[in-house]
Structure 1
C-alpha cells in the first residue's frame, strides 16, 4: 500500500479552512466513509504516513462537497499546494528559475510519497517532461492536482505563458503519467544537472 505524508493532508485541511465556511471541513469529513473520517479526525499529524487512496478519496470528496462535483477544484488544490510548499523551506529554490526547481521535484516527491517515482527531463529552453509513477496507479483527481502544482511552480519562478498537458495517464491504463510543461522562461540561469 502506498502512503502520503500527513503534511499533504494538512494542506487540504488548511485550504478548506481558509477558502470555505467554518463548517466546510466537517461536511467533507461527514461525506467520507467512517474509517477515512477517523483517520482525519480529530488531528492529522504532519510527519505521519497516510494511505494514498485516502488522499485521493479526500480530494474527490472535497470536489463533491465543496464544488458540486466539479473536478476543476483539484487544479486549484495543486495551485494551493505549490504556493504552500514554495513559501516555506523550499522558497530558496525560486531564485534559481523554473528549470532548477523542476529538476528538484524528484527529491520533493520522495519526501511526500513513500512509493512511486518522479523524473524530470529537460527538453530545451522553457520545456520539460515530467514522468510520474504512482503505486498502484494515479487517479484523475491526482493528475489534475499535479497539473495545477506544476503550472504554479513555473509561474512562481517567473515563467510566463505556462502550459501543462498530460500525454499519458496511469488512471487511464498507462504505466505512468507523463506531463509536458512549456513556458516562456524569464530567468536565464543554468542550474546544475
Structure 2
C-alpha cells in the first residue's frame, strides 16, 4: 500500500467543504468504506500519511459527483492545495531559488505528497525542463490519472507563478495510463 500526505488530502477536503458545504462533504465521502469515511471526515493531520487508494477514489468520485466527469474540474482543487502548501511550507524555498533550482529538486518535492514513485527533472533548454514521474498504475499503489494529467501541471504552474516566472506552463505530454512507461511533463517559463 502506498500513501498520500495529509496536507494534500486535507486541502482537498477543505476545498470540498468550502465549495459544497457539509452536505457536499458527506456525499463526497460516500465513495469510501465507513471506516475510511470516518477517517477523512475527522481531523486530517497535515504531516500524516493516508492510503493513496483513498485519494484516488475521492478524486474519481469528485469528478463524477461535482464535475460531470470532466478531469479539468480538478484544476481548482489542485490550485487550492498548491496555494496553501506554497504559502505554508515552501516560503523560504521560493524566496531563495529559481524555477530551475526547484525543478532540480523534483524528487524531494514529490516525496512531500506521495511515498510511491519517483520524480526527476532534466534540462532540455534554458527555462525548459522535462519532468518524469515513474509510479505504479495500480489504484492502491500510485496516484491516479487525474492527479497526473491535471494536479501536477497545476502545481508546477502555481510554483512558477509564485516565483515570479512569466508564462509558466506545464504540459502532461506522456501518460503511464496511456501506454507510456512514465508520465512526462514539459515545463517551461519565459
TM-score w.r.t. length of structure 2: 0.86
Contact 1:75 1:149 in 2 (8 A): no
Q: Distance in 2 between matches of 1:138 and 1:176?
A: 12
Q: Distance in 2 between matches of 1:33 and 1:182?
A: 41
Which piece of structure 1 moves more, 36-45 or 101-110?
36-45
After TM superposition, give the deviation of residue 150 of structure 1 in Å.
1.1
Secondary structure of the equivalent of 1:112?
coil
**What is aligned with 1:44?**
44
Aligned counterpart for 2:145 among listed residues 131, 134, 140: 140
Q: Which runs of 5+ in 1 are unaligned?
A: 185-193
Contact 1:76 1:145 in 2 (8 A): no
Aligned counterpart for 1:149 among listed residues 155, 165, 185: 155
**What is aligned with 2:54?**
54
**What is aligned with 1:27?**
27
Contact 2:52 2:143 in 1 (8 A): no
Contact 1:134 1:176 in 2 (8 A): yes
After TM superposition, give the deviation of residue 77 of structure 1 in Å.
2.1
After TM superposition, give the deviation of residue 99 of structure 1 in Å.
1.6
After TM superposition, give the deviation of residue 5 of structure 1 in Å.
1.6
Over the aligned positions, Cα root-mean-square deviation in angstroms equals: 1.9
Map 1:108-147 → 2, pairs under 5 A = 108-136=109-137, 138-143=143-148, 144-147=150-153
After TM superposition, give the deviation of residue 67 of structure 1 in Å.
2.1
Map 1:27-106 → 2, pairs under 5 A = 27-95=27-95, 96-106=97-107
TM-score w.r.t. length of structure 1: 0.85
Q: For 1:39-65, what per-residue CA distance to the aligned partner results, in whole angstroms no more than 9, with x for missing partners?
A: 323332333322212111111112222
Secondary structure of the equivalent of 1:118?
strand
Contact 1:168 1:178 in 2 (8 A): yes
Q: Distance in 1 between matches of 2:83 and 2:42?
A: 26
Q: Distance in 1 between matches of 2:69 and 2:173?
A: 24
Q: For 1:94-143, what per-residue CA distance to the aligned partner results, in whole angstroms no more than 9, with x for missing partners?
A: 22222222222311212322121010112222211111112245522111
Contact 1:31 1:65 in 2 (8 A): no
